[in-house]
Amino acid sequence: MKRLFWNQLLYLWQIIRFRFICWLSLICFSIIFLSTQLINSSHTSIFNLFFADTSQGTSFNFILWLVYFLIPLLIVLNSFKLLWQTTIMHLRGLQIPPKNFTVVTMLLMGVIAFAYVFVTLLVMLLVTALFKLPSLSFFNLADWQAIPLLFINNFLGIYFTLILQGTIGKFNSALGLIIPASLLIMTSLLKWPLNPLNNLIIMRFNFPGFLLLVLATLIMVIVYGIIDHFFSVE
């Protein structure tokens, strides 16, 4: 399993390298540029600019939030389908159990989500310290509590959308992108209590919503595993 993971990670990196570097550079540059515009602000943090309540804010907040959470989907696209098409015969020749393919795929999605959230939040923290911007504050939590919680929250949200993209993409690659993107747009505009992605907007954050996001992510992992087991082309 370990060897399979590292081999597939290397192949996946070759597929997504250009998109990953370009999109990540774009969002990081945007964070840095926008931070320079907040230097004289004593109330607005770079975190609030990206993750504030878009339904009550400006169209600019809506665009920033949507772009931030759409980028992982645009990085991945149909990469996993292409990955397995190029390596499946070789791997099956090594008699690797099919369930290992599924586990490794979900782990690789987790790696992408983790790397994206880690780098972007790190850049936000660095520019906050460098330009002495207001720090992250939500749900009455101190900095040292809010940052880890925001990291976990964003990771789960992005991982959920990637799993959803991968599940639907097994049947139709275009819908695999359209449906998660539509869910993100709906999230940014409407406050539907049962939407697991509500917590990605920090003004709506609450712990019942966080538990809903965790539960929804676990359900999607199970659904993905079932579909991959029963509907993958032998």
* pLDDT tens, N- to C-terminus, the chain (234 residues): 788 889 889 999 999 999 999 999 999 999 999 999 888 877 778 888 888 765 555 566 788 999 999 999 999 999 988 887 777 666 666 677 767 888 999 999 999 999 999 999 999 999 999 998 888 877 677 666 788 999 999 999 999 999 999 999 988 889 999 999 999 999 988 888 889 999 999 888 888 999 999 999 999 999 999 988 776 544
Instruction: Give the Cα separation of 40 and 59 in Å (integer).
Output: 22
Long-range pairs for 143-151 at CB < 8 Å and ≥24 separation?
A: 147/121, 150/47, 150/51, 150/121, 150/202, 151/117, 151/118, 151/121
For residue 192, with 0-12 CB atoms within 10 Å meaning exposed, 13-18 middle and 19 or more buried, which class applies? exposed
The H-assigned helical ranges of the chain are: 2-36, 46-51, 59-76, 79-93, 98-130, 143-169, 173-189, 207-231
pLDDT of 57: 52
| DSSP code of residue 198 | G
Nearest to 164 by CA among 70, 23, 68: 70
pLDDT of 232: 57
Instruction: Give the Cα separation of 40 and 43 in Å (integer).
Output: 9
Contacts for 9 with CB less than 8 Å, ≥ 6 apart: 108, 111
Q: Are 109 and 99 in contact (CB under 8 A)?
A: no
pLDDT of 231: 64
Buried-state track 10-48, b at ≥16 Cβ within 10 A, e below 16: ebbeebbeeebeebbeebbebbbebbeebeeeeeebbbb
pLDDT of 94: 66
pLDDT of 142: 67
User: Which pair of structure tokens corresponds to residue 165?
Assistant: 């993209």
Q: Are 72 and 116 in contact (CB under 8 A)?
A: yes
pLDDT of 140: 72
Note the pTM of the prediction, 2 decimals.
0.92
Cα-only R_g, the chain: 19
pLDDT of 152: 96
Q: Are 54 and 185 in contact (CB under 8 A)?
A: no
Q: State which amino acid sits at residue 73.
A: L
